[in-house]
Amino acid sequence: MPVTLAHRPGARQRPNYPLSKGIESLPGGYLGGMESDEDRHDRTDHEIELLAERLWAWSREPDGERGPELGPLAEAGFAVDGGVARYGSGRPCVALLLPSDRHREFGHNLVAAAVLGAALATAATLESGSVVVTDRAGDEIDAVLTFQPGVHTWAAAPLAARTELRVTVHGNSGPAPEDSTDAVAGLVQVFTAIAALRARLPAGAAVQGIVTHGGESTDVVPDFAEARFGLRAPDSATLGHVVTEVTTAAEGAAMATGTKANVERFGPIHARFQDNPVLSGHFARHLAACGIHASPSGSAAIPGRPEVGDLSVRMPTIHPSVALHDPVRAVGSRAFAEATGSPRAQTVLLATASALARTASDLLAHPALVRQAWDNFADRARRGG
């Protein structure tokens, strides 16, 4: 049966948009009380309801590393170039951010379907400006909108500064076991040392590792072993401190076993997410209108796409969390992947698609809201985040 919505009634300089005539802004950036807005929201919700079965079918497509198909957008008149789909032209320009994969354990299948639905609904009500759907927003974007299924409903989901380290341990395969130094034994000691290190990490910091290579044969003492460690911290300075601590611990632990550890950065350093409260408050009100109410955001960082943090320090960005499962079943788990096929997941999919589309259409209809978002962004940048 169709599922219906719960309710229908470096940082760049901000763009110098004039305030729309006749628009009066209430606290928090909400542009309310206008019949034309209500009509547009109703049309947006209606488009999502018409798409409901297709959106759910898209969310159930096989998961994996491949990104979402943009074919449905091309069929609707979007200009598709590589991994970017665009509808309309000029500014304001709002980006709806896709995940680069469809991993169910992180709810990315729901994000992809909600973003596609929001884009189609926004295009149906578009009168000026442009909407872009991509997994990598570039320049000339005025706002970035996305979300993350989670275990809490927060208007602004905290994402920590993060990076990854590759640790390679080198031993020696001698002619006899007693002449060898075991690289895997050295790597085990590295994990032990880092486990002990966690107790004295700064508040909000975390280290999690996986073994990526542990030898080729049980008949040969391995002379090479490798692991990757993900590091998170509340800010970039603290993250740098954690990198130093992990590097020192790894090198010392390997040395104690007669092996040698090399530690190198694996990928970039990703910035801590900077919420734009003008946009996140706007989204939260629309989400509430669709039957899902956000609670005050917690302080603990949640799993999320690191590129969102990088975008947030360049332009106004939102990354809300919408509860899909209870806190006992962590994002990234098998139970969470199974929850993406639940009735609750259908509710979250349609509500977030509608809230994203409403927010995008408001930005496109009212450049004044874009200006408020950029004013808030600039003010936060001046205050250092």
- Is residue 328 very low, low, confident or very high in pLDDT (cuts 50, 70, 90)? low
**pLDDT single digits (tens) 149-183:** 988 899 988 888 889 999 999 998 766 666 678 99
pLDDT in the model for residue 17: 43
DSSP per-residue string spanning 236-301: HHHHHHHHHHHHHHHHHHHHHTT-EEEEEE-SPPBPPP---HHHHHHHHHHHHHTT---B---SS-
> Residue 236 and residue 233: Cα distance in Å, rounded?
7
Report the percent of the chain where pLDDT is more than 70.
Answer: 85
Contact predicate 84/67, CB 8 Å: no
pLDDT in the model for residue 20: 33
Return the higher-pLDDT residue of 284 and 332. Answer: 284
Mean pLDDT across 133-157: 90
Q: How many CB atoms lie within 10 A of CB 12?
A: 14
CA 361 vs. chain centroid, Å, equals 21
Contact predicate 309/271, CB 8 Å: yes
Q: How many helices (H) and strands (E) does the chain have?
A: 10, 12
**pLDDT single digits (tens) 354-365:** 999 999 999 999
- Which stretch of DSSP H or E encloses residue 124? helix 108-124
For residue 202, give the DSSP letter: P
pLDDT in the model for residue 348: 96
> Residue 290 and residue 359: Cα distance in Å, rounded?
13
pLDDT in the model for residue 375: 95
Read off φ and ψ for residue 76, nearest 5 degrees: -90, 5
What residue type is 333 in one-letter code?
Answer: S
What residue type is 234 in one-letter code?
Answer: P
Say if residue 87's pLDDT is above 90: yes
Q: Rg of the chain over CA atoms, in angstroms?
A: 24
Contact predicate 363/370, CB 8 Å: yes
The strand pairing partners of 318, in sequence order, are: 145
- Is residue 64 very low, low, confident or very high in pLDDT (cuts 50, 70, 90)? low
> Residue 84 and residue 193: Cα distance in Å, rounded?
44
Contact predicate 384/75, CB 8 Å: no
**pLDDT single digits (tens) 203-218:** 888 899 999 999 888 8
The residue among 309, 313, 275 whose CA lies nearest residue 294 is 275
**pLDDT single digits (tens) 302-311:** 667 878 888 9
pLDDT in the model for residue 315: 94
